[in-house]
Amino acid sequence: MRTQPRAYHHVAIITHPNHAGTDALAAEVGQLLAKNGVDDICSFTFEQDEPPQCLWEQELDLVISIGGDGTMLHASHLCGPRGIPLVGINMGRLGFLTELTRDNWQEHLTTLFGPDSPARLEQRMMLHGAHSRGDKLLNEWDVLNDLVVVRGRFVRPITLSVSVNQTPIVGYVADGLIVSSATGSTAYSLAVGGPILLPEMRNMVIIPISPHFSIDRAFVLSDQDEVSIRLETEHEAVISPDGKQSVMIENGDVLTVSASQFTADFVRFSSKRTFYRNIIQYMERNPIALKLYNENAEQD
């Protein structure tokens, strides 16, 4: 664990284009930063084809994400490879990756500029995925949550063979297979029955999606391991990196997953104990399910 020692002179604000109020909040955040001596501030939405030059040409001290978990995921893909600390203000429904809210962001961001800031950097392992066909490398990704190999449009299971460190360990007939990081253990992996890992753990989880007469337990691996997944199916299948645009794969294609050389550095203001409290609250009172329930109750 590292403390947060940086001075803040160059800051970027990334916003979700479809969340109401993000532009107004970004303007307020910019005003607070300017009052605290930030020399250069740039803003952009994550749906822009090309992020602004400040992200590539300047050594940014901080990126502030305004949106939900999807915005934080996108921001982590930009910040991780560049070693830029990232803090999130939740404007979405769940906000498990974000820590600040519309009600407390001013208080916490202001503390960053004090001499005894309570902020710390929470370093989260990212995953590196490489998609190959024979000897040809077709795609590469560095992701925060997970890499998923899954069936396509046809409602048929796919067959996958999995090796760890070049040793075959298991074959699956399933809807798909997830390889997640510790951060991703509370995302898709959790939804299919995977274990919950502390976000700073440097582990990978392998877990199948709806396995058919196949091993239905998760494997937890170290950051020194390498996972190879080979597709053994003629019909349509895809790779989904962190839920981004899927890539079609063919019979015999291989996805290799290992710990990335990059980390996502989240600026945190709360203690580690907060993770346990939050995960229990989310599981007991899923805010998405509650929102839908309340909307339906109002209509009845």
Task: List active site positions.
Answer: 69
Assign residue 125 a region: left if phi > 0, alpha if psi is -120 to 50, beta otherwise?
Answer: beta
Q: Give yes or no for a contact between 253 and 203, defined as CB atoms under 8 angstroms apart.
A: no
Phi, psi of 119 (to 5 degrees): -65, 145
SS3 of 35-88 = HCCCCEEEEEECCCCCCCHHHHHCCCCEEEEEECHHHHHHHHHHHHHHCCCEEE
94 contacts 69 by C-beta, under 8 angstroms? yes
Hey, is 115 helix, strand or coil? coil
Q: Is 172 left (phi over 0), alpha (psi -120 to 50) or beta?
A: beta
Alpha-carbon gap, residue 55 to 63, rounded angstroms: 9
Q: How far apart are CA 173 and CA 169, in angstroms?
A: 14
